[in-house]
Structure 1
Amino acid sequence: MELSGSIACPTAAQARLLRPPADLPWLASLRYISCRSFAVRSKVTKAMPSLSVSIQPAFPQPVTRATWKKKHNVTCYQRQGAPQIEAKSMEEVYDSLAEHLLSVFKSIDNLDSKYIVGLAGPPGAGKSTVASEVVRRVNMRWSQKHTKDSSLNSNEDIATMLPMDGFHLYRSQLDAMEDPKEAHARRGAPWTFNPSLFLKCLQTLKEEGSVYAPSFDHGVGDPVENDIFVKPQ
C-alpha cells in the first residue's frame, strides 16, 4: 500500500467532488492521505514509514445527565487528547482499532446498551472499508473469547456497520435542485445527504434499542429504505 500526504491526481468527476464549496475556501488547504489498492501492497519496501492514525475520542470516565430517565441514560465521553496508532499496514490498524473497542467494552456494565462509533472522512477515503474490517474483527474476537462462557451467546455478532451511503439524497431530489448537474457531480458532499433521516435513525436506536436503516443500491444509484436492521442485542 502506498501512502501519500497529498491528494492523488483525481479524475474529472473526482475533482468536482473534491472541489470545496465557494463559501468554504479553507477546505482547499486540507491535505488527505491517499491509499492505493491492495494489488500494489506487495511492492511496499521495508523502509516504509509507520502509519499514524488518530482515534477520536479518548475514553476517560463517563458522564451522564442526571435529568434523563434511567432507562434512557446514554454514556457521554468527554474528549481528552487523541491517542495514536503506529502501524506499517492497514491490517495492523484494523487490529489495533478492534482491540481498542474490545477494551472499551470491558468497562461497560450493561452489555445490552448501544455503543456508537463514528468514522469521518472525505468521499472515497475508505470509511466503509475500515468500518467493515474493524466490525469483522470485533465480532470474531468477541466470539473467540467467549466460546467457553455458557452465559453468553458467542454466535451472536455484537457489532454491525451502518454506512452513510443509505442517507444519500435520491437522484430525483438532486434533479429538483437549482443546479442538478452540479448536484450530481458533487454527490457525496455534506449537502447531498439527508441529515434529518440520519438523526431520526439514531433517535430511534436510542429510544427503542433497534432500528431499520437504509442501505444503498450502487446498481440503481439510490438508497434502499429499511434494508439494514440493527438488532437490540
Structure 2
Amino acid sequence: MSSDKNTQETVDELSRVLVEALGQAGGQRRVVVAVAGTAGSGKTHLCGLVRSAVNASSSSSSSSSEGEVCAVLPMDGFHLSKAQLAALDDPDAAMRRRGAHWTFDARGFVDAVRRVRDCASDTVRVPSFDHTVGDPVPAAIEIRPSHRVVLVEGLYAHASEQPWAEMAQLADELWWISPCSAAQCRARLAQRHVAAGLAADMAAAELRIATNDDLNSKFILAHRLAPTRTIAN
C-alpha cells in the first residue's frame, strides 16, 4: 500500500466489513472471503493484518473466551508435493513451473473450503507449506469452531477454470488485490525467492519471475472471476 496511513485505513474498512458480515450471519455459519491477486501483490500480508484487526475488534466487544474468530486458510498448502510432481508426465517441466495452476491440488483446495463453509461446528484441518523442505505439511492448520470468519488466500482463489471456479458459490465475497506498483511486486517476489532458497541471488530470482511468476500472473488475469471488491495495495 502507498503509506502506513492508507494501509491502516484499508485494514480498518475491511475489518468493519467482516465484523458486520459476521453479525449478519448470526453465528449459524462461517463467513468465507476469497482473497486473490497476482504474484507479489501482498495477499498474505494484507490477510494477516485484517485477521489481527478482526480478532482485536471481536475481543474488545465480547466477553467470550472461545478464542479468535478470524483465521486465514492459505492456498500454499495445496501445492503438489515434489514426489507428486516427479510422477507427472514431464517432471522437469513440473518442477520448473511449480506455482502454475496445474501444479496444485485444486480439488483438494476447493473441497477444504467447502468443508470450512458447510461444517461450521467442526474443526477442519488443512495443510500448510514448509518452505524449508519445499513441501506441504498435512493437517498443520486448524480452522476451529470459534473461527467464524475465514480468509481464503491464494493466487488462484478467483480462477475461473474448474474446479477453482466453485469458489464463486463457496465465498461470500471475492476480494481482488490490485498492486499499485508492478516494480514493488517484483521486488517482493525476488526477495521471497532468495529467502526461500528458490534462487541463489537477485539476478536468478528475476529470471525465475520472468519464466514462471509472470506466466502465472498472466494466466490469472486472463482467467478470473469478477471480484466483489477490488483493493488497492
The TM-score normalised by the length of structure 2 is 0.56
Following superposition, the deviation at residue 96 of structure 1 comes to: 1.5
Distance 1:231 1:96, change over 3 A: same
Runs of 4+ aligned structure 1 residues displaced above 6 Å come to: none
2:50 to 134, 154, 157: 134
Following superposition, the deviation at residue 166 of structure 1 comes to: 0.4
How many residues get paired? 144
The TM-score normalised by the length of structure 1 is 0.56
Matched letter for residue 182 of structure 1: A
1:140-179 paired onto structure 2 within 5 Å:
140-147=56-63, 153-154=64-65, 156-179=67-90
Look up the match of 2:32: 116
Look up the match of 1:231: 144
Unaligned runs of 5+ in 2: 147-233
1:106 to 23, 32, 37: 23
8 A Cα contact 1:143 1:155, kept in partner: no
CA deviations on 1:26-64 (whole Å, 9 max, x unpaired) are xxxxxxxxxxxxxxx69xxxxxxxxxxxxxxxxxxxxxx
Matched letter for residue 15 of structure 2: A
Matched letter for residue 177 of structure 1: L
Following superposition, the deviation at residue 163 of structure 1 comes to: 0.6
User: Which one has a larger percent strand, Structure 1 or Structure 2?
Assistant: 2
Unaligned runs of 5+ in 1: 3-40, 43-87, 148-152
CA deviations on 1:173-216 (whole Å, 9 max, x unpaired) are 22222333332232222111101111221233344333111111
Whole-angstrom CA distance in 1 between matches of 2:24 and 2:119? 23
Whole-angstrom CA distance in 2 between matches of 1:96 and 1:207? 27
Following superposition, the deviation at residue 93 of structure 1 comes to: 1.6
Max Rg structure: 1
Following superposition, the deviation at residue 170 of structure 1 comes to: 0.5
3-state DSSP class of the match of 1:107?
helix
Identical aligned pairs, as a percentage? 36
Whole-angstrom CA distance in 2 between matches of 1:125 and 1:176? 31
1:204 to 99, 112, 115: 115
Whole-angstrom CA distance in 1 between matches of 2:76 and 2:133? 13
Whole-angstrom CA distance in 1 between matches of 2:102 and 2:7? 30
2:126 to 213, 217, 225: 213
8 A Cα contact 1:170 1:222, kept in partner: yes
Following superposition, the deviation at residue 118 of structure 1 comes to: 0.4
Matched letter for residue 96 of structure 1: E
Look up the match of 1:59: none
Distance 1:206 1:155, change over 3 A: closer
Following superposition, the deviation at residue 167 of structure 1 comes to: 0.6
3-state DSSP class of the match of 2:73?
coil
How large is the RMSD of aligned CA atoms in angstroms?
A: 2.1
Following superposition, the deviation at residue 105 of structure 1 comes to: 2.0
**Which has the higher relative contact order, 1 or 2, with Cα contacts under 8 A spaced 6 or more apart?**
2
3-state DSSP class of the match of 1:215?
strand
Following superposition, the deviation at residue 107 of structure 1 comes to: 2.1
8 A Cα contact 2:32 2:117, kept in partner: no
Matched letter for residue 165 of structure 1: D
Look up the match of 2:103: 192
